[in-house]
Amino acid sequence: MKWQQLENGGGGTHLVVLDPDEEPVQVLTDFARTHGIHGAQVTAVGAFADAVVGWFDREARDYRPIPVRQQCEVLSLMGDIAEGENGPVPHLHAVLGMADGRTRGGHLLRARVWPTLEVVIQSVEPPLAKVYHPDIGLALIAPGRREPAP
């Protein structure tokens, strides 16, 4: 287990509200670049016209896409923004509510907003740095301090 202390950054907290047909992963990536957000905690509610979520396939070392081809409530969207190799990247997990109350979810690969997505971005400092793990196939957040084994 590794950890680090965080301060709320100068950027503070941003509320971002997406319009119909906007794609949240791209919009939040662009927003983080434009506003210099290098580490943040992200939460959101709203609704999607449709979405593709993912489950991480350990053998394939990649996300297996799961299409959700129906209008759904975004019951929770939770994750973070951290510094990858080419700038800030969001890491978001979604729980989606269907018309009959059943839920589906996964790692958010892409989605189409309808009618709104209300996103709160709480910036933190220092920046959250990601390190790529070739054995896993993922870049993981790597805090600076490690707790000694008990």
Residues 66-125 binding a copy of itself (CB under 8 A) are: 66, 68, 71-76, 78-80, 91-95, 97-107, 115-116, 118, 120, 124
Within residues 26-45, the interface with a copy of itself by CB under 8 A covers 27, 30-31, 34, 41, 43, 45
Short-list 38, 18, 28, CA closest to 125? 38
Q: Is there binding between residue 5 and a copy of itself (CB under 8 A)?
A: yes
121 CB-contact burial (10 Å; exposed 0-12 / middle 13-18 / buried 19+): buried
Please say whether the beta carbons of 42 and 80 come within 8 A.
Answer: yes
Q: How far is the CB of 45 from a copy of itself (least distance, A)?
A: 5
- Closer to a copy of itself by Cβ: residue 39 or 85: 39
Q: Is there binding between residue 15 and a copy of itself (CB under 8 A)?
A: yes
Please say whether the beta carbons of 29 and 88 come within 8 A.
Answer: yes
What is the DSSP secondary-structure string of 133-147?
A: ETTTTEEEE--SEEP
Contacting residue, 1, 69, 86, 134, with a copy of itself by CB under 8 A: 1
Q: How far is the CB of 108 from a copy of itself (least distance, A)?
A: 10
Q: How far is the CB of 105 from a copy of itself (least distance, A)?
A: 4
Strand partners, 95: 76, 105
Residues in the chain: 150
DSSP 31: H
Q: Is there binding between residue 50 and a copy of itself (CB under 8 A)?
A: no
